[in-house]
């Protein structure tokens, strides 16, 4: 019997498989339009190229960051033919840093892109507002009051890397000046890398966070106990910059960051309502203070809670909306799924003397109906869910009897899905608009008002 060959080559039934494009390969591309996330979109040999830093009408040389099937992730390395819209980035690190993706696009064009994205998502879901509101905007730079700084110990170089993650990689870009940070954090940012590298045990530092509000703060997360000398250096640095020092060791039983000095508090004010909200590092807060206050004002203006009404605030967090609502409504019920945030919101209500605000914990990923607290009904509902949206809640909102629903979202896709469901329940979309919470990035926040005709 003849020996059977063992070097047969089989071809997939769908035809020949396209060769993968190696990471690092450079390719000339003509940009046709912007994708939803603000990257330039080009088509080369049957593949869709999503190119960071490119604008429509441009000819660029792009470097491949990764591929998946017929999708190529890339970054513009050289602009061969520039768009007339292109501007010089305000930050010298914009081409490498992964924090800001749209600095090469004028702010007005950034807003137009975000409004277009929201409109497209709503349209695909069959939703159209009666009125488009003007974008809610604030400063395009120096707005960020919270930032997470990446830290990594380079074993070979025996040096601590400090900065922000590079776009499309785990590389850390050393940055001393970040133009999107608020002014009060700039001196801390400039001195941070020298401080951390001066520690006796820098390899114990996991990452660092900066905060600005009623006080500035430096949070150091560490993977091993820090020597007394290092704690003294950190304390002296914070004293020099009038900042609080918080530590988080990640040790058993230490689930929350702890203030280095007893009695330290972090917080921010909502001036329009004479409110002070306290929080701990790790709690969710909106990073853009001016837009946050304008967002709360617009939400209350659109929802128009009356002095005799009962209002429901879902996904209430610290009480960012619930406390101002309680200044105007007869009664506010605020609901949150995270126990720590329920405690924080209740404490904020008490500290601000709001006895008409009740805060309770409930799993908002499950249906609402059947819960005792839904029985009396509500005149109006405000919800500000995470990126996954509020599908379980939205499917039953109509049964609560609310005539008005205000939805704040950080994800236009899930917002559009939930909006279509509200329309099925008899609501009409009266107003819609974007909130420019994150200038220089492609993140889109939006606000929608629904009413029963």
Inter-residue contact 281 to 209 (CB < 8 Å) = yes
Return the structure tokens found at 380. 């109006």
Helix extents (H) in 304-336: 322-328
177-181-185-189 Cα dihedral, nearest 10 degrees: -30
Task: State the DSSP string of 373-394.
Answer: GGTT--SEEEE---TT--HHHH
Helix extents (H) in 198-306: 228-240, 289-303
From CA 136, how far away is CA 134, in angstroms rounded?
Answer: 6
Burial class (CB in 10 A: 0-12, 13-18, 19+), 276: middle
Give the active site residues: 410
Burial class (CB in 10 A: 0-12, 13-18, 19+), 24: exposed
Inter-residue contact 277 to 320 (CB < 8 Å) = yes
Choose among 300, 291, 262: nearest CA to 449.
300
Instruction: Give the CA angle between residues 403, 408, 413 to the nearest 5°.
Output: 110
Choose among 408, 395, 413: nearest CA to 313.
408
């Amino acid at each position: 019997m003849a020996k059977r060959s063992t070097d047969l080559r089989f071809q997939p039934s769908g035809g020949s498989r396209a060769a993968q494009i190696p990471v690092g390969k450079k390719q000339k591309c003509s940009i046709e339009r912007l994708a939803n996330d603000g990257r330039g979109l080009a088509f080369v040999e049957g593949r869709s190229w999503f190119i960071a830093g490119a604008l429509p009408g441009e000819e660029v040389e792009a470097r491949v960051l990764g591929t998946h099937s017929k999708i190529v992730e890339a970054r513009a390395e050289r602009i061969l033919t520039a768009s007339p819209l292109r501007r010089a980035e305000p930050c010298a690190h914009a081409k490498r840093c992964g924090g800001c993706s749209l600095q090469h696009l004028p702010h007005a064009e950034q807003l137009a892109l975000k409004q277009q994205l929201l409109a497209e998502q709503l349209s695909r879901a069959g939703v159209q507002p009666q009125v488009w509101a003007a974008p809610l905007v604030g400063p395009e730079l120096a707005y960020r009051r919270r930032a997470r700084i990446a830290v990594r110990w380079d074993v070979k170089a025996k040096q601590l890397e400090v900065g922000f993650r590079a776009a499309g990689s785990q590389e850390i870009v050393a940055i001393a000046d970040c133009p999107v940070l608020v002014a009060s954090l700039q001196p801390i940012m400039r001195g941070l890398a020298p401080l951390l590298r001066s520690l006796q045990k820098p390899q114990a530092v996991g990452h660092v966070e900066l905060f600005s509000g009623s006080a500035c703060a430096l949070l150091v997360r560490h993977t091993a106990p820090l020597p007394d000398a290092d704690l003294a250096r950190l304390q002296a640095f914070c004293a020099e910059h009038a900042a609080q020092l918080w530590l988080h060791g990640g040790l058993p039983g230490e689930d929350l960051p702890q203030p280095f000095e007893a009695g330290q508090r972090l917080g921010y004010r909502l001036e329009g309502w004479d409110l002070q909200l306290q929080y701990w590092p790790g709690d969710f807060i909106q990073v853009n203070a001016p837009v946050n206050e304008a967002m709360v004002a617009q939400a209350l203006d659109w929802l128009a809670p009356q002095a005799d009404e009962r209002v429901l605030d879902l996904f209430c967090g610290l009480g960012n909306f619930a406390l101002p609502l309680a200044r105007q409504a007869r009664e506010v019920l605020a609901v949150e799924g995270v126990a720590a945030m329920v405690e924080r919101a209740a404490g904020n209500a008490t500290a601000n003397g709001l006895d008409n605000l009740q805060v309770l914990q409930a799993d908002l990923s499950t249906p609402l109906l059947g819960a005792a607290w839904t029985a009396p009904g509500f005149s109006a509902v405000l919800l500000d869910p995470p990126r996954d949206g509020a599908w379980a809640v939205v499917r039953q909102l109509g049964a609560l009897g609310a005539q008005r629903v205000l939805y704040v979202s950080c994800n236009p896709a899930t917002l559009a899905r939930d909006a279509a469901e509200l329309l099925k329940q008899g609501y009409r979309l009266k107003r819609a608009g974007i909130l420019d919470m994150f200038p220089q990035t492609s993140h889109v926040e939006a606000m929608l008002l629904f009413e029963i005709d």
